[in-house]
Structure 1
Amino acid sequence: MMLTMQRAELVCDVIGTLAESPVWDERRQTLFWCDIMERKLHSVTPSSGRRWTMTLPDTVSCLGLCESGRLIVACGMQILLVDPENGTIATLATIPAPDGLPSRLNDGRVGPDGAFWVGTMDAGPFHDIRPTGQLWRVTATDIRCRQTGLTCPNGLAFSADGAVMWHSDSVQRWIRRRHFDRRTGLFDEGDIIARPTEADGRPDGGCVDGDGRYWSAGVSAGVLNIHGEDGALLEKIPMPVPHPTMSCFGGPDFRTIFVTSHRNNMGEETRTRFPRSGGVWAIPANVQGFPAFRFADGA
């Protein structure tokens, strides 16, 4: 097994509603993540236990690191630049809603091209969600829609060399592997390498390890599904909670995997059985990750 599950532990005592988007900052040796429904950014520095929280005015769906040390954050339909040192917030861009329909930003990640890639989705009830989602590329000076026809865009991740882009749709239930050009930010149609069912683990957030394997959070089945570079399912690892949402590699040597989880709409019986759902887990890994790409914010 690629993870040492008997040593899984919570990184801190923060139990959220819909925790997402863990990102390890190797400069600060700090883990950042967000809680979509509670509209919060969080961080913890494991070596000291130091914690930080900021509440924002709308849903906070994902974040990334900037070259300047700031965070780039998806909030509602806005892209914000947040300085965790002094709490200042600047609005970089507003993503237009398709046809003016109620929408919100969802999963996103900074790519090897220095841009922030983020998806939009219908903001209505999940069981009635429509395929109006889009994928946007955001730079310090420009925003462009790069894909339409999505329902719940998720699982964005890039290989260490920047040549592969992984993407999923949690409602359409596919995982796609694409060739990516880090110089231009262009990608091809790629190949659908998996169509996970609810029992397999509906694909939520994802990350890539240093050997190019893709780690997809199977949010409906309480597992991490690990795919090889060719897309083959290599391993299915049970998690300590029923709804893992996303993972990332971090720690001093990038041999710890951090996994966010949720308790949103969870029944009382399940909450009683899994009281730490909504927390963030740290699990020693037998494989190594790599530093997150940083947004080119010109600072």
Structure 2
Amino acid sequence: MEQVPTSVLHAERCHLGEGPTYDPLTDIAWWFDIREGLLFEATLSSGEVRRHVLGKMASALGRIDAARQLIVAEDGLYIRDVTNGALSLYLSLEADNPATRSNDSRVHPSGTFWIGTMGRKAERELGAIYALHRGEIVRLFPNITIPNAICFSADGAIGYFTDSAENVLYRVELNPDTGLPRSTPTVLVRHRGAGDLDGAVVDAEGRIWNARWGAGCVDVYSPQGVHLRCVKVPASQASCPAFVGADLSRLLVTSAWQDMDEAAKAADPEHGRTFLLEVGARGRAEPDVRLSS
């Protein structure tokens, strides 16, 4: 396992840290504590971190424009006013099913937003992956237990995702103009060994950076599924990476203390914290969400 220069971006311990993203226009990184209904906002140049109480579980966001974000929450999609934090419901999603919540999600280069849902107790095949495409929600892949690793090639022609319960990373051909599938998913990586495949992001070279929950690391795969690197994360339950910073050269990694007893927490002293890793690679700026055609 490779050790790189690493620092703590924020020391608060997340129950379930997830959904990191970065806005290079404002130099602000965002991430969530799903279980506690919190949104974190970190200005990297100053190190200042703000904590927003959402009042509901939420797991991801996409930038709409300078004034608005789209928040993926347990019962639907909400437009958030960046200035005052006000939330307004945009579309309901599985609001009639109290057993599910949102999970891993990411914006496709076309502006289509892929959104994962799952059972609150990770019930088998209770979740799905959807696409918010031009103002309408389309179900792409049903019967998912724990959707994760949603990310895309730079040209938008390839999508990736995993069901963490299966430990399989899938590859699917997409229409680059719409972000919608053109083919049936195929297996790219079948993980065996310690930990579970969790959140992922694609760098500027097309490599897939995948957090491995329970193993305290981020693995790097080629677009062909070849394992290239394994980078250590200080917390065992690493959950999701995102490239951040003015040149997108640092890797923000969230983590969690979910399901850890006191002995496990003591053995993992950095549990739940949010980290910055100097990984010697560069990412790509995340696209904005398109709400209409």
Same fold flag (TM > 0.5)? yes
Structure-to-structure mapping, 1:142-161, within 5 angstroms: 142-161=136-155
Q: What is residue 33 of structure 1 aligned with on the other side?
A: 31
Q: How does 1:65-84 map to 2 (within 5 A)?
A: 65-84=63-82
> Alignment partner for residue 22 of structure 1, among 20, 23, 34?
20
Is 1:55 equivalent to 2:86 in the alignment? no
* The one of 200, 210, 234 aligned to 1:216: 210
Q: Give the unaligned 5+ runs of structure 2.
A: none
What is the root-mean-square deviation of aligned Cα atoms in Å? 1.9
CA distance in 2, matches of 1:203, 1:138: 24
TM (norm. structure 2) is 0.93
Q: Distance in 2 between matches of 1:141 and 1:179?
A: 22
1:111 aligned partner: 108
Superimposed CA distance per residue, residues 35-93 of structure 1 (whole angstroms, 9 cap, x where no aligned partner): 01110111111211222221122211222222344221111121111122221211111
Q: 1:135 to 1:214 in 2, by over 3 A?
A: same
> Which residue does 1:10 correspond to in 2?
8
- Give the CA deviation at 1:4: 6.2
Q: Give CA-to-partner distance per residue, 1:166-188, whole Å, 9 cap, x none.
A: 10011122101122212132222
Give 3-state SS (helix, strand or coil) of 2:174's partner. Answer: strand
* Match of residue 280, structure 1, among 274, 279, 282: 274
Runs (5+) with no aligned partner, structure 1 = none
What residue is the counterpart of 1:172 in the other structure? 166
Question: Is the 1:68–1:297 Cα contact (8 Å) retained in structure 2?
Answer: no
Tell whether the 8 Å contact from 1:4 to 1:284 is kept in structure 2 after alignment.
no
* Cα distance change on mapping 1:84 and 1:97 into 2, 3 Å: closer
Q: Say which SS state the counterpart of residue 272 (structure 1) adopts.
A: helix
Q: Secondary structure at the match of 2:10?
A: coil
**1:247-293 deviation per Cα after TM superposition (whole angstroms, max 9, x unaligned):** 01110111101000011111212312333211110011211111011
SS at match of 2:266: helix
Aligned equivalent of 2:92, options 91, 94, 98:
94
**Are 2:217 and 1:227 equivalent residues in the alignment?**
no
Per-residue CA distance 1:156-202 (angstroms, 9 max, x = gap): 001222222110011122101122212132222232112223x3431
- TM score, norm. by length of structure 1: 0.91
| Equivalent residue letter for 1:191 | T
Return closer, same or farther for 1:233/1:200 CA change in 2, 3 Å cut-off: farther
Residue of structure 2 in register with 1:270 after alignment: 264
Residues 1:229 and 1:202: Cα distance change in structure 2 (over 3 Å): same
Q: Which residue is 2:191 aligned to?
A: 196
Distance 2:143 2:82 in 1: 35
Identity percentage over the alignment? 27
1-structure distance, mates of 2:55, 2:90: 15
Per-residue Cα deviation, 1:215-260 (whole angstroms, up to 9, x for no partner): 1111021121111010111122221111100001110111101000
Count residues in correspondence. Answer: 291
- 1: distance between equivalents of 2:26 and 2:85? 16
